[in-house]
Amino acid sequence: MNFKNIFTIYTKELRDMLRDRRTLISMVVIPTLAMPALFAVVMAVAFRIQSEVATTLPTIMILGGDDSATMATALRAHAGYRVLPTSDNWRQLIADKQLRAVVAVPAGFEAAVQRGESAEIKIYYYEGEVRSDRAVREVRGFINGERAKIVAARLAAHGLGPAAIRPIEIRAENVAPPEKVGGNLIGGIIPYFFLLMAFSGAMYPAMDLTAGEKERGTMATLLCSPVGRIDIVLGKFFMILTASLGTVTFSLLSLGATFSVGGAFVAQRIAGTSPGTSTRAADKFAEMTSLDPGGLLAVVVMVLPMVVLFAAVLFAISLFAKSFKEAQSYVSPLVVVIVLPGVIGLLPGVELNVRLALVPILNVSLASKELVSGVWHWDLLALIFASTCVYAALALGAAVKMFNREDVIFRM
């Protein structure tokens, strides 16, 4: 191994790559723009729906209630929805989303209540539809209020207070720090995003520096020089690593900027759109996006050996290909290999243990989820870091071995 030669090859590859528009796009432009664009689109859509739901009242229809005038009038007078005139095709109207809910007051409702019996009010709605859900919430809220009044009156008639029917109260309080909650919500996505960026950042240079060179005929030129094969591999490998880390860095900066600028904007919007109820929503959003900065740094550290592993694997695979196009057909399906463990890591309930700590990608994904939420399992973290380093070293060793195989290098 000759460090001077490795450096010579590395700097040449770096210069070559920086002059290539395609590398700059994959290394700088995409990672910088991807996150803000994604954030902006998701937020814009979410806001649109939310403000629409908040500003336009859902429509309901009331069936029956002719012999229960007090209830029917109060139901009509409630401000949380707009009551449409009764019609027979209400089922169709709900299906067509022109009507959000129907409240059916049974015959003899008020008489039954007067007798001290129980009567059933039915709500028909469209499950999973945001506006329908809101209509149901409003109706339920109103009926619950009415029920509480009736219960209080009945209890009073027997000389009892509200505690008589609620001897036990339950109150659940969250003690997890805000980062923990935020970490669970978006902590899984962030490291996953890094891994994807690291992979996509390494993909193009790995193919270009191996199969691309074979295709263009510059590989033979390079092999004629007295430089050792291992120096060539390492020089090129460091370049792939640089591109990958560059992509991660740009996506990290972009992510930070998006969350600090976009997050403040969103909190402001939430507070501004519907004052009163929104302080909780704004708090919730702040909670969702608050991450432990130390944990975030640790995620970057955990992702590092993973980046080395990606670079080495991509190098070895692309080297085998005769042309850039062939390399693409080998490498593209690998994205699924990255996506799958990442998605498993995002599933709720999948928790880090010794066995999962040895599964590449999944281990880093799971550990990162815990790290950004402020949980540090030092023993497992060490195991993950060490095992990923071992995998990376093995992959790099395989790449060097491949480079020494003339049937690979001269595979035409």
Cβ 134 vs Cβ 56: under 8 Å:
no
- Does residue 375 interact with other proteins by CB under 8 A? no
Where do we find the tokens 């003899």? 108
Smallest distance from the beta carbon of 25 to other proteins, in angstroms? 15
- Pairing status of strand 101-105 against strand 122-125: antiparallel
Alpha carbons 268 and 236: distance in angstroms, whole number: 48
Q: What are the strands, taking DSSP E only, across 42-94?
A: 59-64, 82-84
| Closest distance to other proteins from the beta carbon of 204 (Å) | 14
Quote the least distance from Cβ 8 to other proteins, whole Å: 5
Binding part of the chain for other proteins, among 42-50, 146-154, 224-232, 307-315 by CB under 8 A, reads 224-232
217 binds other proteins (CB under 8 A): yes
Minimal distance in Å, beta carbon 264 to other proteins? 42
CB of 366 to other proteins, least distance (A): 41
Q: How far is the CB of 225 from other proteins (least distance, A)?
A: 4
Q: For other proteins, give the closer residue by CB, 71 or 234.
A: 234
CA distances from 60 to 64, 91, 98, 260, 382 (A): 13, 12, 9, 41, 59
Burial class (CB within 10 angstroms; exposed 0-12, middle 13-18, buried 19+) of 74? middle
Say how far residue 107 (Cα) sits from the centre of its chain: 49
Residue 260, SS3?
helix
25 lies in the binding site for other proteins (CB under 8 A)? no
Choice between 9 and 327, CB closer to other proteins: 9
Which ranges of 79-188 would DSSP assign to H, the alpha helix?
90-95, 109-114, 130-157, 178-182
12 binds other proteins (CB under 8 A): yes
275: contact with other proteins by CB under 8 A: no
Exposure string for 221-247, b = 16+ CB within 10 A, e = fewer: eeeeeebeebbbbbbbbbbbbbbbbbb
Identified binder of other proteins from the candidate list 19, 158, 171, 355, rule CB under 8 A: 19
Strand partners, 102: 61, 124
Q: Which of 14-22, 246-254, 284-292, 355-363 is the region at the interface with other proteins (rule: CB under 8 A)?
A: 14-22
Which of 70, 86, 98, 218 is the binder for other proteins (CB under 8 A)? 218
1 makes contact with other proteins (CB under 8 A): no
Measured from the Cβ of residue 220, the count of other Cβ atoms closer than 10 Å reads 11
Binding of other proteins at residue 221 (CB under 8 A)? Answer: yes
Q: Residue 350 CB, nearest distance to other proteins (Å)?
A: 43
Our CB check for other proteins shows the closer of 179 and 208 to be 208
User: In terms of CB distance, is 224 or 336 closer to other proteins?
Assistant: 224
Spatial distance between the Cα atoms of 20 and 198, rounded to a whole number of angstroms: 19
Nearer to other proteins, 12 or 377 (CB): 12
* Cβ-proximal residues to 277 (8 Å cutoff; 6+ apart), any chain: none
Q: How many Å from the N-terminal Cα to the C-terminal Cα in the chain?
A: 28
Counting every residue written for the chain, the total comes to 412
CA dihedral 12, 15, 21, 24 (to 10 degrees): 110
- Rounded-to-integer distance, Cα 310 and Cα 323, Å: 20
User: What is the total count of residues that contact other proteins (CB under 8 A)?
Assistant: 25
Nearest to 215 by CA among 310, 318, 312: 318
| Cβ proximity to other proteins, 12 vs 78, nearer residue | 12
Among 14, 16, 249, 271, binds other proteins (CB under 8 A): 16
223, 230, 389, 398: which one binds other proteins (CB under 8 A): 223
Q: Which stretch binds other proteins (CB under 8 A): 221-229, 338-346, 372-380, 389-397?
A: 221-229
d(CA 306, CA 234): 17
Binding residue for other proteins, selected from 168, 224, 347, 354, defined by CB under 8 A: 224
Report 377-406 residues binding other proteins (CB under 8 A). Answer: 406
Residue 274 contacts residue 53 (beta carbons within 8 Å): no
38 binds other proteins (CB under 8 A): no
Question: Which of 220, 257, 382, 386 is in the footprint of other proteins by CB under 8 A?
Answer: 220
The SS3 call for residue 89 is: coil
15 versus 355: smaller Cβ distance to other proteins:
15
Question: Is the Cβ–Cβ distance between 258 and 35 less than 8 Å?
Answer: yes
**Stretch binding other proteins (CB under 8 A), from 155-163, 226-234, 298-306, 381-389:** 226-234
Chain positions contacting other proteins, by CB under 8 A: 4-5, 8-9, 12, 15-16, 19-20, 216-218, 220-228, 406-407, 409-410
